[in-house]
Structure 1
Amino acid sequence: MNEAKRRGGLKQRVLRAKPDRNAKPIRNVSYDVSEIPPELWAAIATFASRQCLARLCAASHEFYSKFSPLLYGNIFDPPLTPVNSSALVGTLSEARAPSGRPHLAEQVQQLKLTSCIADIKAVKNLLQNMRRLIPGAELRSGSVLRVLHWHLAAGLDELGKILGAPGHFPNLKELFVSTTGTNNNFNFIQIGGLEVLGVTFSLYTYDREYEDGDKLCYKLAEALQMLPSSSPLLNTLRLNLDIAYDENEFPYDGFADLVDTINVIHLPLLTTLDMSVEIDEEEFGLVDPDTPLRPNFSAFLALHPTLLHLTLLGTGLPKNFAASFPCLRSFKGSFDESAIICSCRPPLETLVIRFVHRMSSDDVFPSLHVVPLTHNLHLTKFKIDAVDYTDETVKLTDELSPTSFAQLVSSFPNLIDVDVCINKPMIQYRRVLVLLTKLRTLRLREYKTYHCTCHNVSCYEDGECYGPKKPIEKVFPPRGYITELSLLIPSLPHLASVEISILGDHIPPEPEVDEDILFEPAQIEVDYHFSINRKSKDPKVILNSTQISSDNRSCFC
């Protein structure tokens, strides 16, 4: 019986395998890739990495002609590493292109070089290649470059000469330049037609004559005062200054002239302003107490009531400042300046309070002296940052105690997104968090220590423990956060995402711990990402992912 079934099944399979005589023969289809429209090639490139584009360019001459403009046209995102930036500068600085091909530098539209410390000759060659005149249909147009972000150790004088030459870069609309070198001129600021300008300068007066610091400030002021005429369509301005000086050699006259010059500049289309001035008053012991070193740009702000986004760091606003900002949507600055801006009653939607700590181990962490902020129903996003002078997150802060947090939250009842650093266990902030009934996303940052549990003290040497390691989930268990968040869910019906960021240190087994560890980078950073599942009747907190600062998930002993 089984044999008959087997033969019957085999016969059916043979019958099914016979070709259909009525079926049309299948032709071998070929397609010429040259017929693919450029729009489709561009769409393909958007899903390809920079490495994939480079491999396509190396596949054939035809692919090179199609993908090289896409590969070199946007060298912006993701940003290049310093090594890749230096290699790119070398490639684009070559004097000649292969026969029959346009120079690669002529194809660049958006360029961002990360910490590129190239010699002045390479910088000059690169910019000369980028500004080569290309024959057009009727006119000869300059470089197609539209966006340039560049960190230079030196060579800004050459940058001004080449970028500022008439007709060389007529399409350049966005320019961000940062440098740590001393410059003889800032002429590149006067490039015509800019819409976005960002400059980060370190004005060093070390080992120089007293008057030289003043001259640097005078030259910068002279370049900035031409902005309204050279770039009347400027809508974004970022000006970050770091003035370093020897004791008693601060350029008072030049700095005062720079502040006065900025205060009379009027940019009618300005909507985004980021101004920061880095001056360490305490370290150098200045001798002129009547000269304020926190520059007051209130006159400049009053000339620009159309601002949408404003950042002020290291500046000083008078307490009686009362400018009108009917369009301002976001502000970032110190607590004192945040209080002043809020008192102007702008329709803020985002507020970022930033604390910059400049201290050694002999200092005490300053506490936040909270004053009531003006009530704001528009504010939905609130953030508090605490960083050191290198812009790294401070591990231990006294800024946001539960009492201070409650005081701030009472001014902003409609918060949806909260990102703050806390200095107490999360359970002590429960009474404040339950007041945020519209909260959707929450991010908390805190500092924790884990004491070495090795019985053999000798295993802890040179600040590192060589004992057996534990998974991070056992060193800083997420279970406590899940429990605490579960208690918040009934009071926060819109909460959907929570991130807990932990800065952790492994403490040696000695009873006395060196306090200098507070001023060193954290040994490990852990990010727990939670989501709230509300599909069931009993909402639950789910740990979605765990990210740590290294690939090794083993942590402390």
Structure 2
Amino acid sequence: MLPSSSPLLHTLQMKIKIPYEDQAFPDSAYSELIDTINSLYLPVLTTIDLSVNLVPDDLWDYFCGKDLTFLPRTNFTALLTTHPHLVHLTLSALGTEIKEDLGFLPRLISFQGPFRDAAVICARQRQLQKLIITPSNDCADFFPTFHPLPLPNHPSLTKLCLLAVDSLGSPMKMTELSPNSFACLISSFPNLAHLDACINKPVTKYRNALISLTQLQNLRLQQYTEHFLAPPNWPACLVFPATNYIKEIDTLLPSLTQLTDVEICILADIHPASAAYVSDTGSESDSYCDEWYYDRMDSAPDIQLEYFFSVIRPVSGAQVVLDLTRVMDSYS
């Protein structure tokens, strides 16, 4: 009813969650819905935010050792083709791929979606201002990584996010963006003012790539780590002291003269050895560690620690100041 009830609708957001149990997915359960969405025509539509996600009862049991070729494909190409005036697009639907002949690409200002689609968009149009790259929404979502490939150069892009979140928007822990992959990706965007990225090494390992972004004003880095905590009830701020990050950020300041704000988000899990778990034989149980490892895959981190820093620039030289600390943990 939308075309008749809301002919001037300019923003369409649909989040479709499909329950899944231990059976092959019934295509008939959603084909009529997909056909209906594809038949929509809203003449002034400029923004589409569309996602389709499976919601299995047990995420690990669902993924472990299974052939994922049967995952439902959801092709919304018809919907995209009939709306040539789009300027903002968010897409997460297995089976829908951006094609270079789509009419809205020259107008697109912002895009959020998987790397393969971002590559097509960057190759086609030159006015993109905001790009959010997410892991592919197939099985790679469970072990999210980012392709270490350069994209076409985009001097107009000022905001880049290399985002690792699940279908509910929560941070994903098992994300890897190595220093080489990081450097390769951001080399295409020399004029970034805002960067939000996931890393898995100390900030200094990414220094060479970061200092090339001379226009950078706001920097947010999310880092996942497994940390041995002893004793296990230590405050997170002592395990990951802010002074360490201040020293790392200090090394960036001589090159990043526009930098004003830095946020560091640390996601961490407690290794079972730190909880002093021992088996009946008096040693740590390997099977317990394996069970712990798999349990960590689809659970919230034991620690989520956020530091918010400001950069002040008095006459004597730039300094990093801690403004705010925010901690969420499940063990204290």
Of Structure 1 and Structure 2, which has the larger fraction of its residues in strand? 2
Please, which of 269, 274, 282 is the counterpart of residue 44 of structure 2?
Answer: 269
Q: 1:505 to 1:249 in 2, by over 3 A?
A: closer
Pairing 1:545–2:324 present: yes
Once the two structures are superposed, what CA deviation does each residue of 1:472-501 show, in whole Å capped at 9, x if it has no partner?
A: 432211122111111110111100100111
Q: 1:374 to 1:298 in 2, by over 3 A?
A: farther
Pairing 1:403–2:180 present: yes
Give the share of equivalent positions with the same residue, in percent.
Answer: 39
Cα deviation, residue 415, structure 1: 0.6
DSSP-derived class of the 1:386 partner? coil
Tell me which residue corresponds to 1:350: 130
Pairing 1:331–2:111 present: yes
DSSP-derived class of the 2:248 partner? helix
Tell me which residue corresponds to 1:534: 313
DSSP-derived class of the 1:482 partner? helix
Tell me which residue corresponds to 1:415: 192
Tell me which residue corresponds to 2:121: 341
Tell me which residue corresponds to 2:210: 433
Larger Rg: 1
Amino acid at match of 2:102: A
In the alignment, is the contact (CA less than 8 A) between 1:316 and 1:337 conserved in 2?
no
Q: Which moved more, 1:535-544 or 1:256-265?
A: 256-265
CA distance in 2, matches of 1:357, 1:236: 23
Tell me which residue corresponds to 2:34: 259
Tell me which residue corresponds to 2:249: 485
DSSP-derived class of the 2:197 partner? strand
Please, which of 69, 79, 89 is the counterpart of residue 310 of structure 1?
Answer: 89
Tell me which residue corresponds to 1:386: 164
Of Structure 1 and Structure 2, which has the larger fraction of its residues in helix? 1
Query: How high is the TM-score relative to the length of structure 1?
Result: 0.50
Cα deviation, residue 255, structure 1: 3.9
Query: How high is the TM-score relative to the length of structure 2?
Result: 0.81
Once the two structures are superposed, what CA deviation does each residue of 1:174-194 show, in whole Å capped at 9, x if it has no partner?
A: xxxxxxxxxxxxxxxxxxxxx
In the alignment, is the contact (CA less than 8 A) between 1:397 and 1:423 conserved in 2?
yes
Following superposition of structure 1 onto structure 2, how do residues 10-409 of structure 1 map, counting pairs within 5 Å?
226-244=1-19, 247-248=23-24, 250-252=26-28, 255-279=30-54, 283=62, 293-318=72-97, 320-325=99-104, 326-345=106-125, 347-355=127-135, 365-388=143-166, 390-398=168-176, 400-409=177-186
Gaps of 5+ in 2: 277-283
Pairing 1:505–2:266 present: no
More contact order relative to length (CA 8 Å, sep ≥ 6): 2
Cα deviation, residue 377, structure 1: 1.9
In the alignment, is the contact (CA less than 8 A) between 2:308 and 2:323 conserved in 1?
yes
Aligned length: 309
CA distance in 1, matches of 2:137, 2:266: 19
Once the two structures are superposed, what CA deviation does each residue of 1:329-386 show, in whole Å capped at 9, x if it has no partner?
A: 21111222222232331522111112278879xx983543333322222211111222
In the alignment, is the contact (CA less than 8 A) between 1:297 and 1:315 conserved in 2?
no
Please, which of 258, 275, 295 is the counterpart of residue 494 of structure 1?
Answer: 258
DSSP-derived class of the 2:103 partner? coil
Please, which of 304, 308, 312 is the counterpart of residue 525 of structure 1?
Answer: 304
CA distance in 1, matches of 2:94, 2:69: 18
Q: 1:260 to 1:389 in 2, by over 3 A?
A: closer
Once the two structures are superposed, what CA deviation does each residue of 1:131-169 show, in whole Å capped at 9, x if it has no partner?
A: xxxxxxxxxxxxxxxxxxxxxxxxxxxxxxxxxxxxxxx
CA distance in 2, matches of 1:498, 1:288: 41
Gaps of 5+ in 1: 1-225, 455-464
CA distance in 2, matches of 1:249, 1:367: 26
Cα deviation, residue 227, structure 1: 2.1
Q: 1:357 to 1:515 in 2, by over 3 A?
A: farther
CA distance in 2, matches of 1:265, 1:367: 34
CA distance in 1, matches of 2:97, 2:111: 17
RMSD: 3.2
CA distance in 1, matches of 2:132, 2:102: 20
Pairing 1:476–2:243 present: no
